A and B are shown apart, each in its own frame.
Chain A
Amino acid sequence: MAEVILKPVSKFELTIEAEVITPDNFAGKNAQEIGKLLVWEGPQQLPISNFFEVKGNGGSSAQDTTIVIDGNVPRVKRIGEAMTAGRILVKGSTGMHVGAFMQGGEILVEGNSDSWPGMEMKGGLLHIKGNSLDHVGSAYRGSWKGMTGGRIAIDGNAGNQVGGGMSGGEIVIGGNVDNFCGTRINGGLIVVKGNAIRTVGAEMTGGTIVVGGRIGKFTPGFQQTATESNLKFNDIECPGEFKKFAGDYAIPQKGKGVLYVSAENNEDL
């Protein structure tokens, strides 16, 4: 497998929009050609080589191409946007919209992510070892059609609106989430190992949400239907006892969503 190494050399005084950084775009190009690809900085388009030192050549196809971003790039947005295959490794933190519209392949971020990782993602794997800000795997502003496939794994915490409008795929959060986790989802699976602040599953019309920790304020439109233990969704395991709820009954499409809440951490429910 061919490896392209991008070493950040700019101070990134403005954020850059780098949707061009995908294995699909790098495949079949040598280092020099890759360096000439354009990214947006404010109102102008400039070559990648203004911002990164490029080493190594792309493979014959996206599948054969690995991109290593060798450093922290919290001000570089849209890395891996709409990629279909191949691999991206970020040895640091990324900016907004990493893996947005991703269709296949794999992105591994060793640091943290800004907001909108995996926005409207369709397939592939997006793994963030640190924390993420808001809108993980959610729909774009104004839309109610979020992630439809693939998997997002965040080892740390995530912010607000995890999986907003999601209808397929999986999101696994190792830590805690803030508000509106799984709002308006109609399919797919969200597993939160830690706590949530409030409004989990608000207006959900389908899909499954599991919260292993405590929910600060429980959403009112849910009704308990059963108690289940040691949940398993393919390779995702959720040990312990869970109270099972149906909802959200607050909206017309009533009660088709499933919300599991740790019994041990939510005794008052």
Chain B
Amino acid sequence: MAGTIAIKNGYVFDPLNEINGERMDIFIRNGKVVTELSAAELKDAKEIDASGKTVMPGGVDSHSHVAGAKVNVGRMMRPEDHYKFYQKKTPLTHSGCGYSVPSVYLGGYEYSKMGYTTVFEAAVPPMEARHTHEEMRATPMLDMGGYLVLGNNWFLMRYLKEGDIEKAAAYISWMMRTHKTYGIKCVNPAGVENWGWGENVHALDQANIHFEVTPEDIIKGLAELNEMLGFSMPVHLHANNLGHPGCWEITRDSLKIPKNIKARPKDHNVEWAETKVNPRRHESVYLTHCQFNAFGGTSWRDFESGVKGITDYVNSHDHVVMDSGCVPFGDATVMTGDGPAIHDLYVLTGNKWSNTDVECECGSGVLPFTYLKSNPVHSVQWAMGLEVLLYVKDAWKSIMTTDSPNGGPFIKYPQVIAWLMSNKARQDTLNECHKWAADRSGLAAETREMTLNEIAIVTRANAARTIGLSHSKGTLGVGADGDVAIYDLDPAKLEVSDYESIIRAFENAAYTIKGGEVVCQRGEIVAIPEKKTYYSDIAVNADEEKKMIEDVKNWFKYYTIGFSNYPTPEKYLANPTPIKIDAEV
């Protein structure tokens, strides 16, 4: 029977069900986790002996740049990223190449090798949604979705300025359906719009040009709208002043803005897998790549980690969840909707640089970057990414990412896991780094070593919970998708000082199982599974929507494309999976 499998005797880590390394069996029937299989079913089912191995839900990446226009710009402008990192065609798989910006095929395979089954694209500009969906559809092995970039959108800035919240809500719900996207992304609110005039904003109360809205207006507005509409995930924030010394303060102050907004996800129609822990989010803001938003000091000369300022706030408040944006050293490609931040990096490095203005919506920048252990600032950034995860006391408030490929490519996750689990791994790297890593961060004194349970939280359970996907992902509860990663790591014999063995285990999962099918075995792709694309389907008041559409049509004269060519039809998606949301507007 397809999608039916018995995984026997593994050490299971399923944090959403408070299963912490218990030896047990996992059964999957027709692609979904079940309590048991009948004797007849067992006879036909594939059986995997997982004794002496670590079993976790399939990995979930809630923030990665893997598809769409700017990722493709990264590919086009970086032939040198391709020629040393490639994979041959096999009877089953496509050939592919690219280290920090892999081709869509290679990206899918590489994620699957590490046991990941679900990846969300971090930034979809509305006008580029078709392109993004085409690339997601072509990415094998992964269930996907994307966040719509709305932090500098002309229509929203106008509605927020006018205080027309109903129309703003109608616009967002219409845009999510129109572009088949999943959640709200807010990048350098108000600042990217100013970048159209070569400017930025540098304070939360600084109004931008023409629209005269402030970052605070936008963060507050979008966070309120997010809960009014009842999105599965909190508003996804890339704060202002990113990448500038001293930016940690504006980041902390940004997190204060949605403090009193109550999380109200309204995806009532979804069937939920069994979990012991409450799988619903309670946070009103999801801060991304904290490391890049946590620079201390006032210049590059007195640059230091400002992570503690943010983690202290996060530790004492419950409305924030964040991902780390770790820097694992080596080649990276920085790409973000934050055009001015990338321009500043261009001025700093002189590297080749690409900049895009997405008409009435947003912008972006792309630049090749290499993080060096010998570089004082880079070495502090490495330490900061780990501080973000280690300083947050409750692992349910953090998610491990590299903001791939900004801090480094996602294929470095096993290395990051090793640093989190092994103090020796960190001390060994500190010894190879510029001394600023130890002098200007607190990492050298931090002795916390994450457990496998905590790793399961920050690499799958919490990523899924944060974006409202724990109804089927990030858990092995009954009813969940049969996505499982089995690693060659025996928790009973684990010596974290031998961190190379941790890296090896997480680099190539012994088995990656998707929907109850083995899809990858010890680094070799053995099956190409069906995949899903999630988006939010929000119903709002039809009259309000009609009025809003009139505004949009009226302003569409500012676009270079016709209104009828704007939407992304469902045919662009692989197995479109709408999450129905009943908004109260």
Contacts and interface: CB of A to CB of B under 8 A. Distances in A.
Interface in B529-584: none
B161 interface: no
Interface string B77-114: 11111010000010000000000000000000000000
A141 B350 contact: no
16 contacts: A43-B89, A139-B80, A140-B79, A140-B80, A140-B83, A141-B79, A141-B80, A142-B77, A142-B78, A142-B79, A142-B80, A142-B81, A143-B80, A251-B350, A252-B350, A253-B350
A140 B77 CA distance: 13
A140 B83 CA distance: 9
Contacts of B79: 140-142
Contacts of A140: 79-80, 83
Interface string A43-58: 1000000000000000
A142 B82 CA distance: 10
B66 to A, nearest CB: 21
Interface residues of B, number: 8
Contacts of B89: 43
A100 B111 CA distance: 31
A252 B348 CA distance: 10
Contacts of B83: 140
A253 B349 CA distance: 11
Interface in B47-89: 77-81, 83, 89
Contacts, number: 16
Interface in A110-140: 139-140
A139 B89 CA distance: 27
Interface in B326-350: 350
Contacts of B80: 139-143
Nearest to A143: B80
B540 to A, nearest CB: 47
A143 B77 CA distance: 10
A234 B78 CA distance: 37
Most B Cβ at <10 Å: residue of A140, A142, A251, A253: A142
Nearest to B83: A140
A139 B350 CA distance: 17
Contacts of A142: 77-81
A140 B89 CA distance: 23
Which of B78, B81, B89, B350 lies at the interface centre, i.e. has the most chain A CB atoms within 10 A of its CB?
B350
Contacts of B81: 142
Interface string A229-261: 000000000000000000000011100000000
A142 B368 CA distance: 10
A96 B171 CA distance: 56
B512 to A, nearest CB: 28
Interface in A154-203: none
B241 to A, nearest CB: 24
A205 to B, nearest CB: 9
B219 to A, nearest CB: 36
Nearest to A140: B80
B566 to A, nearest CB: 34
Nearest to B95: A43
Nearest to A141: B79
List 4 A-B pairs, minimum CB-CB distance, nearest first: A143-B80, A142-B79, A142-B80, A141-B79
B334 to A, nearest CB: 16
Given A141-B79, A142-B77, 14 more contacts: A43-B89, A139-B80, A140-B79, A140-B80, A140-B83, A141-B80, A142-B78, A142-B79, A142-B80, A142-B81, A143-B80, A251-B350, A252-B350, A253-B350
A142 B350 CA distance: 14
A56 B503 CA distance: 43
A58 B78 CA distance: 38
A210 B181 CA distance: 58
